[in-house]
Amino acid sequence: MALTYPSRVARNHPPPLWPLRLFKVVEDSMRPALRPGDGLVGRRGGAPETGELRVFRDPRLSTRWLVKRVGEVYGTGADAIFEARSDNPKAPGAVDSHELGWVSAAGTYRVVYTVRAPGRRDQ
C-alpha cells in the first residue's frame, strides 16, 4: 500500500529525527484494516512485533512509503529485519516481502494511531 503525506505536512516537514510522522493511505493492499483516505500516525523506531503495522520506504522507489503488517521477525531493535505482509495481497499493485524481501527495522515507523476516512463507519 502506497502512502502519501498530506499536503500540509509536506510544506511544514518535521525535523529529520522527529519521532512522529503523518501518512495517508492511498491504495487497497491493507483492506479491510486500512482503506484509501485513512490517516496514520507513525512513531519512529522500536522493535518490530509480529502483527503490528509498520510504515517504511519502498526499497524500489525511495519517495514512496508502504504500510504492511509485520510477519516473522529476525533480530532485535534497529538491527532487526521483518517480513512485510499485505492484508489484501490480491489488490492491484500490492507488494510485500514476496517481491521486496525482508525489510530492515531501521528507519521504520510503528503505526500508533489511525484516523478513519470521512464516511467510514466500520471499526
pLDDT tens-digit series, residues 43-64: 998 899 999 999 999 999 989 9
Assess if residue 45 is contained within a domain: yes
Whole-number percent of the chain with pLDDT over 70: 83
Assess if residue 123 is contained within a domain: no
Q: Band the pLDDT of 92: cuts 50, 70, 90.
A: very high
Number of domains in the chain: 1
Q: H/E/C letters for each residue in the chain? A: CEEECCHHHHHCCCCCCCCEEEEEECCCCCCCCCCCCCEEEEEECCCCCCCCEEEEEECCEEEEEEEEEEEEEECCHHHCEEEEECCCCCCCCCCCHHHHCCEECCCCEEEEEEECCCCCCCC
Per the rule left: phi > 0, alpha: psi between -120 and 50, beta: everything else, 37 is: left
Average pLDDT, the chain: 87
Q: d(Cα 67, Cα 41) in Å, to the nearest integer? A: 11
CATH, residue 15? 2.10.109.10
Assess if residue 29 is contained within a domain: yes
Residue 19 pLDDT more than 90?
Answer: no
Residue numbers of the domain that contains 110 = 2-115
pLDDT score, position 7: 44
Q: d(Cα 48, Cα 31) in Å, to the nearest integer? A: 21
Q: Picking from 4-13, 49-58, 74-83, 87-96, which range would have the lowest pLDDT averaged per residue?
A: 4-13
> What is the rounded average pLDDT of the residues 82-111?
95
pLDDT score, position 57: 95
pLDDT score, position 79: 92
Nearest Cα residue to 90 out of 1, 23, 3, 2: 1
Assess if residue 61 is contained within a domain: yes
Assess if residue 120 is contained within a domain: no
